[in-house]
Amino acid sequence: MVVGELEVVPLLDAVGTLAELDQAYPDVPAEEWAPYRELYPELFAGSRWRLPVKVHVIRADGTTVLVDAGVGPPGSFSMWAGEQEGLLPAALDQLGVRRDMVDIVFLTHVHIDHIGWTTDAEADVFFPNARYLVHREALAFARSSPDRSHIRRCVEPLADRFEQLDGDAELAPGVTAFVAPGHYPGHMGLRLRSAGAEAVLLADVAPHPALLDRPEWVYAFDDTPQTTTRAELVADLADRDVLAICGHYPGTGVGRVVSRGARVVWEEAPSG
């Protein structure tokens, strides 16, 4: 997918079933999900949330940026039922991106499904030449639980290597990280602008596309309720020619936020 002169490639690392919907969204009655089951069938497994996890390669003026780092080697994520795991290395090979060609690994936040390939199964750095960028508050929060297995494997070995962001930051020409508070301390999204084209990588502002229509729904795994962040971003994206990208959405996860009757829906963009 191109955004002006930038290239954005989503790569699937894993798919699995996460929580019961009524654990993740305790205030939402089961029947309220019905329209979204029809719109986004691949995100449901009965009463559970079926979660694709994609990472993104962005090529910008000779700089290769990896946005988030997936679930990691198979078996890394004990809290979900994985259907497919550990796909990222082969996907990078297929794209012709060797690990040593990645210049920047940018982490939107430090949840287990976003950091898995910062290191390999032995906790050795996976992208040897990359600068690892993360918001200062996200890193501090993650490191406050150093004994959690994903923090021990994926964060602690790189502790001295992380470059810490304090706020919005341009990572490469046209690629700007912005603070999107709520889901995690220091949680960040990414705005892409090039040659009149625009895209927003939502990270986990609205990790289920139903939340674009119902931004007021409280998501139990948010650090603090982020309904305001979400509502503002939806208003900013709706019915504009801006690509809305999320690694947890169906298909490529690259699409647009559009009004359909009384609903706000996410529609996958034709690839190209």
Cα(71)–Cα(90) distance, rounded to whole angstroms?
14
Quote the least distance from Cβ 24 to Zn ion, whole Å. 11
Rounded to whole angstroms, the Cα distance separating 101 from 111 reads: 25
- Check binding of 85 to Zn ion (CB under 5 A): no
**Site residues for Zn ion, window 186-205 (CB under 5 A)?**
204
| CA dist list (Å): 8 to 3, 59, 98, 243 | 7, 7, 16, 11
Give the DSSP H/E element, type plus range, for residue 130. none
Q: Which of 113, 137, 213, 222 binds Zn ion (CB under 5 A)?
A: 113
Q: Which of residues 202-221 bind Zn ion (CB under 5 A)?
A: 204
Which range, of 15-23, 67-75, 95-103, 107-115, touches Zn ion by CB under 5 A? 107-115
CB of 184 to Zn ion, least distance (A): 9
Nearer to Zn ion, 85 or 204 (CB): 204
Residue 68 interacts with Zn ion (CB under 5 A): yes or no: no
From the CB of 19, what's the least distance to Zn ion, in Å?
Answer: 12
Query: What does the angle CA 125 – CA 129 – CA 135 come to, to the nearest 5 degrees?
Result: 75
Cα–Cα separations (whole angstroms), residue 78 to 11, 16, 75, 113, 149: 22, 11, 6, 11, 10
In the complex, minimum distance from the CB of residue 53 to Zn ion, in angstroms, rounded to a whole number: 7
Counting contacts by CB under 5 A, is residue 13 touching Zn ion? no
* Run of H or E including 228: helix 227-237
Residue numbers at the binding site for Zn ion (CB under 5 A)? 113, 204
